[in-house]
């Protein structure tokens, strides 16, 4: 996710993700959606390769005894 794909590869990747999710993007909205996806992909690249295995996500939870806080 860190490399920048070619426009064709980006479009193929987007189409694959949409198909997997069962989303039909209308042709007239596809160009804007692809631009937005490229932008999001750039943001996602900031998040990858940043942490070692010891870094835990924010939604790791803890249990408390019944009645505790």
The Cα-based distances of 5 to 8, 18, 26, 61 in angstroms read: 8, 17, 23, 37
- Cβ neighbours for 40, distance < 8 A, ≥ 6 positions apart: none
Q: How many residues bind other proteins (CB under 8 A)?
A: 34
- For residue 64, the minimal CB distance to other proteins (Å) is 11
- For residue 54, the minimal CB distance to other proteins (Å) is 10
- For residue 48, the minimal CB distance to other proteins (Å) is 6
Site for other proteins in 6-65 (CB under 8 A): 14, 17-18, 20-26, 29, 32-33, 35-37, 39-44, 46-48, 50-51, 55-59
The Cα-based distances of 56 to 5, 17, 47, 64 in angstroms read: 29, 27, 13, 19
């Amino acid at each position: 996710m860190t490399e920048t794909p070619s426009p064709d590869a980006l479009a193929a990747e987007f189409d694959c993700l949409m198909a997997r999710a069962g989303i039909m993007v209308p042709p007239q909205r596809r160009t804007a959606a692809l631009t937005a996806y490229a932008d999001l992909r750039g943001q996602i690249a900031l998040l990858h390769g940043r942490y070692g295995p010891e870094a835990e996500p924010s939604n790791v939870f803890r249990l408390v005894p019944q009645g505790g806080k």
